[in-house]
Structure 1
Amino acid sequence: MLKISGLNVFYGHIHALKGISMEIKQGEIVSLIGSNGAGKSTTLGSIAGLVPSQSGSITFLGKDITNIPPHSIVKLGTSLSPEGREVFPALTVQENLRLGAYIKKDKAKISESFERVYSLFPRLKERTKQTAGTLSGGEQQMLAIGRALMSEPQLLMLDEPSLGLAPNLVLMIFELIESINRQGTTILLIEQNASMALSISHRAYVLETGSISMAGNSKDLADDPRVKKAYLGIR
């Protein structure tokens, strides 16, 4: 579904991504783990068309999407729920969600998207007229994911969905991610909580200072002593 080949990204003189290559197959949950500053968000930004790359290629469903405009990438079937949620605080829950469906013109399709999001996140339906800025952190995260789902993406990219949430909400968010995947959406997940990410993903990549250092089955990586020591806090 998605293939990255030899991708290089620079921020001025800083070499943020150093020729990384990775692949995501239809129906998978793939985790990208690594420490802060490793290049995880840069990778998602490059896929989404928000961060320009200097060389290498990104193909989605067989089409080269390297450095094409973000709205064109969304139309092809990708969507990003960004780190920090980035909801529009002065807009209502309903208005935030409607913005996620901006590429759609068919009112019936938009209604179907609302129904899907509200079935996944009943709490959002209860707060449909409430402004996003008054929601709790967990509710804002649900809204960010729900907004990303409104375009009915084939590939959903999630950047740190559990960041700043209480443990019980973290569990709920990860259960929802699995539910979204079971409905047929492929997911690329960036997550500081490496243990949780590896527990729900099929495969994973480890990113270290802009390079892929390890890749494989998530269970195998979770059992790897290097991953245990560096990311799972197990000595």
Structure 2
Amino acid sequence: MLAVKNLNTHYGNIHALKGIDLEVKQGEIVTLIGSNGAGKSTTLGTITGLLRATSGEVWFKGENITSIPPSQIVKKGISLSPEGREVFPALTVEENLQLGAYVRKDKENIRTSYDRVYELFPRLFERKKQTAGTLSGGEQQMLAIGRGLMSMPQLLLLDEPSLGLAPNLVVMIFDLIVSINQQGTTVLLVEQNASMALSIAHRGYVLETGKVTMTDDAKILSDNDMVRKAYLGNI
């Protein structure tokens, strides 16, 4: 479904991505793990067109989308739930979700997407008329993911969905990611909580200073001594 080939991205003189190669197959949950500054968010930003690749290619469903504007990439079936949630605080829950569907032409079917989001996140339904700025951190994360689903993506990119959440909410968010995947949405997950990410993913990539240093089935990565020592907090 998604193929990233020899991708290089710069921030000014900083070489942030150094020849990244990765693949996401339809139906998978694939996770990118690594320390701060490894290039995880930069990878998602380049895939979605928010950052311009210096060289290399991004292919989605057989089409080269490397130079396509972000709005067109959303229309082709890729949606991003950004790091830090980035909800619109002065707008209601329902208005935030409505913005997630702005690229869609099938306006009569948008109600079905609302229903799906509210089924996944009942708390959002309870607060649909409440402004997003008054929600808790966990509720804002639900809203950010729900907004990403409103464009009916085939591939959902999640950037640090557990960031700043209490442990019980982290478990709930990861359970919901599995549910979203089981409903047919492919997921590319960037997550510092490597243990949780690998526990739900099919495959994983380890990024270090802008390079892929390891890739394998998630279970194999979880059992790898180097990964355990560097990212899972044990040996």
Q: How far did residue 77 of structure 1 move?
A: 0.2
Unaligned runs of 5+ in 2: none
* 1:60-209 to 2 correspondences below 5 Å: 60-209=60-209
Q: Distance in 1 between matches of 2:233 and 2:174?
A: 20
Amino acid in the other structure paired with 2:59: T
Q: Distance in 1 between matches of 2:92 and 2:12?
A: 38
CA contact (8 A) 1:46 1:67 kept: no
Amino acid in the other structure paired with 1:71: S
Q: How far did residue 12 of structure 1 move?
A: 1.1
Q: For residues 84-106 of structure 1, give each alpha carbon's deviation from its aligned partner in whole angstroms, at most 9, with x where no partner exists.
A: 00000000000000000001133
Q: For residues 148-182 of structure 1, give each alpha carbon's deviation from its aligned partner in whole angstroms, at most 9, with x where no partner exists.
A: 00000000000000000000000000000000000
Unaligned runs of 5+ in 1: none
Could you state the TM-score of these two structures normalised by the residue count of structure 2?
0.99
Amino acid in the other structure paired with 2:227: V
Q: Distance in 1 between matches of 2:107 and 2:189?
A: 30
Cross-structure match for 1:22: 22
Q: Report SS of the residue matched to 1:38.
A: coil
Cross-structure match for 2:39: 39
Q: How far did residue 67 of structure 1 move?
A: 2.4
Q: How far did residue 186 of structure 1 move?
A: 0.2
Cα root mean square deviation, aligned = 0.5
Amino acid in the other structure paired with 1:5: K
4+ residue runs over 3 A deviation: none
- Equivalences, count: 235
Q: Report SS of the residue matched to 2:99.
A: helix
Amino acid in the other structure paired with 1:4: V
CA contact (8 A) 2:49 2:67 kept: yes
